[in-house]
Amino acid sequence: MEYIRILKYLVQKNVSSVFSGKSQQKLNSVDMDGIVNFLAETNEVIVMTGAGISTNANIPDFRSESFGLYNRLQKYNLPHTTAVFTLKYFKENPAPFYDIAHEMYPVLQNAKPTITHYFIKLLDQKGKLLKHYTQNIDCLEELAGLEGKKTVQAHGHIKTGTCLGCQKSFDFKFLKDKVIKNEIPRCNECSETIKPDVVLFGESLPKEFWNFTSDFSKCKLLIIIGTSLAVQPFAGLAGQVDLNCPRVLINRDQIGDSEMLGSFLTNLFHLNPEFGSTSNTHRDVFLEGDCDKICLQLAEKLGWKEELLKLMDENNRNIEEKKSKI
Ligand code: CNA
């Protein structure tokens, strides 16, 4: 282990110095103000998001210490923590997955987009958003008004489900009605289990995801929000931008600091940003804290705060009105 740590340090230092020798700093300052000034002048922004942008909508993420879903899985006596979200285990025993879904569906149904979702929508309104790549399955970006073609839902979504047997498709209402009654949704044709169209571990990602090279090669600023960047291949997208492209992480926790070999390889090939590292200071900025607070701060510094709050207020009122008519 010690050997790997030393090797990792030497290789990182070496690779970083080679890159930093050729690197061109595009930010006036490698901090929030540098990002704000750069963003004011830049279009072709890509935003990568994870479950952290929806925790303020009361939707738990995976890994947060008290609130995260992983913490609630002990009672299922699983072979390993993530088993409930793997295709193999789901096929053998969908009950724990649907037990969690039973708890989560009412939350998902009532959730409203957060300031962060509206900040992404505003980036689009300002003509700055090239694409939003999300791991989230809650579709809150859509509820915030972001057009479908602007988002790549890399891990699928909960809007539909598919029968594992005959592949028949089912809508959200069908699934929700069963899940809320604590039933496992079964196909009305062949009686096989229906799986929501979320990507479980062991499944391939949707084909829109695999067009990432054309987006990421154009990217001028990468904003990563509310994710532990622990899930591949999504996490590797962070390494797909140009070596000089500024990257900002807005997150409650520092990430990418694992001693695992997987992390060693991703760092070696610069797949993951080195936020907070002293060896890669010319382009990576870590803004630590709650993403809604930080997005609001960014909006204020950009002179967009009033617009952001108005957008959120009006849209949330429309959502309420639509729900009251259902
Ligand atoms: P994760 O591994 O749970 O990481 C979430 C990260 O967000 C952590 O680093 C937290 O510290 C951080 N965070 C949490 N709340 C905030 C906040 N308010 N402000 C700033 N940072 C915050 O989740 P990832 O998205 O990285 O993992 C990928 C999984 C989670 C994907 O496969 C998703 O499908 C899955 N997931 C999605 C949802 C959703 O759709 N809302 C919910 C739960 C899990």
Domain range annotation of the chain: 2-58+113-155+204-324, 65-110+157-198
Whole-model pTM: value is 0.90
Instruction: Looking at the CA of residue 59, tell me the nearest atom of ligand 1.
Output: 41
What single letter denotes the amino acid at residue 243? L
User: What was the pLDDT predicted at 9?
Assistant: 42
Sheet order of strands, 284-288 included? 151-153, 129-134, 45-49, 221-225, 247-251, 284-288
Report the separation in Å between the CA atom of 141 and the middle of ligand 1, taken as the mean of its atom positions.
15
Distance from residue 52's CA to the centre of ligand 1 (Å): 4
Q: What are the respective helix, strand and coil percentages of the chain, to the nearest 5? A: 50, 15, 35
Q: Does residue 60 contact residue 68 with C-beta atoms inside 8 Å? A: yes
Ligand 1 atom closest to Cα of residue 255: 9
Q: What distances in angstroms separate CA 33 from CA 30, 36, 38, 71, 151, one per listed residue? A: 8, 5, 8, 36, 27
Question: CA 240, CA 228: separation in Å to the nearest integer?
Answer: 17
What does DSSP say about strands 151-153 and 284-288: parallel, antiparallel, or unpaired? unpaired
Give residue 67's pLDDT. Answer: 76
pLDDT at 259: 39
CATH code of the region 65-110+157-198: 3.30.1600.10
19 neighbors 243 (Cβ within 8 angstroms): yes
Quick one: which atom of ligand 1 is closest to the CA of 114? 18
Nearest Cα residue to atom 22 of ligand 1: 52
pLDDT per residue as tens, the chain (326 positions): 444 453 454 344 444 444 444 568 899 998 999 999 999 999 999 999 999 999 999 999 988 877 788 887 877 888 888 899 999 999 999 999 999 999 999 999 999 999 999 999 999 999 999 999 999 999 999 999 999 999 999 999 999 999 999 999 999 999 999 999 999 999 999 999 999 999 999 999 999 999 999 999 999 999 999 998 888 899 889 889 998 899 999 999 887 644 344 444 454 444 455 565 545 568 889 999 999 999 999 999 999 999 999 999 999 999 988 877 65
Asked about 80 being catalytic, the answer comes back as: no
Residues belonging to the binding site are: 51-55, 61-63, 135-138, 163, 166, 187, 190, 227-228, 251-253, 291
Atom from ligand 1 closest to the CA of residue 70? 3
Cα 68 to averaged position of ligand 1 atoms, centre (Å): 8
Peptide bond before residue 196 is cis, with ω within 30 degrees of 0: no
Helices (H), 193-304: 212-216, 261-268, 291-302
Pocket test for ligand 1, best of 47, 49, 58, 62 (most atoms within 8 A of CB): 62
- Closest by alpha carbon to 16, among 243, 316, 249? 243
Task: Report CA(251)–ligand 1 centroid distance (Å).
Answer: 10
**Fold held by 2-58+113-155+204-324:** Rossmann fold (3.40.50)
pLDDT at position 277, please?
A: 55
Question: Which residue reads 């390993």 in tokens?
Answer: 80
| Cβ count near 88 (within 10 Å) | 11
Q: For residue 43, give the amino acid letter.
A: N
Which residues, judged by CB distance below 6 Å to any ligand atom, belong to the binding site of ligand 1? 50-52, 54-56, 59, 61-64, 68-69, 135-138, 155, 226-228, 230-231, 251-253, 255, 290-291
Annotated binding site for Zn(2+): 163, 166, 187, 190
Nearest CA to ligand 1 atom 14: 52
80, 117, 132, 155: which one is catalytic?
155
Q: What's the confidence (pLDDT) of residue 255?
A: 77
